[in-house]
Each structure stands twice: as C-alpha cells, then as structure tokens.
Amino acid sequence: MDVRAVRILDEARKIDGALGAAVVDATTGVVLAQVGEESPAMAKELALAALRGTNAGQLDDEIEDIMLTLGKQYHVIRFLDGGHERFVHLVLDRERGSLGLARHQLAKLARERR
C-alpha cells in the first residue's frame, strides 16, 4: 500500500460528512489506498472524461478538481502532484458535509502533499 496515499486518506476521512475516499492512479486505474464507501472505477472514468474534454477543447488551463452532485452525495475528485497521474476521490454526504469546505480541504491536502 502507498504510504503517502494512506496519509492523504487519513486527513480526507476527517472532513465533515466524508463517507469514503480513495487515492487512484489515473493512468492505470489502480487504487493506491481506500477507506469507507467509495467507487474508484467511477472516479477514474469521470477524471478521464474531464481530461479528454479539456484536451479536445484545447483549453490552455489545468483541471484542479471535478465534482459530481447526486441526490444524497457529492463526489469530489482532486488531482495530486501538480499533474493528472494521481487523484483523490472523496464521497461526501450532502446533509452532513459542506461541498465548499471539502473542496478547500482537499486543495490544501494536495498542496501539502507535493
């Protein structure tokens, strides 16, 4: 198991409303570490679709995070390492968590773990 990924998840699971999280290698789809309820396969597909979309649109910018809003959950994908090779996928309960605060905390985690 990836020690750095475990450290990231230790912090991510402390986010209010967190139901689960995973650190995923975006190139292979391999889950490096995981806690709680989480769907790394779905997260990988969302991340790859967003990357394809920005490449197709020739955007001169980088994706920081991706959000999916469901009836009972928020899914937030945050890229790590200043690139698109690895990301953390956080599943957040809509009633107990704050999407804005969760995004802020994941961004801070990504910066600290570089």
Side-chain-side CA neighbours of 105 within 13 Å: the count stands at 21
Predicted TM-score of the model (pTM): 0.84
For position 20, which CATH number holds?
Answer: 3.30.450.30
Domain that holds residue 106: 3-112
Encode the chain (114 residues) as per-residue pLDDT tens digits.
Answer: 678 888 889 999 999 999 999 888 887 878 888 888 766 677 777 777 776 766 655 667 777 888 989 999 999 989 887 777 888 889 999 999 999 999 999 999 888 755
Domain count, the chain: 1
Tell me if 31 sits within 8 A of 16, measured CB to CB: no
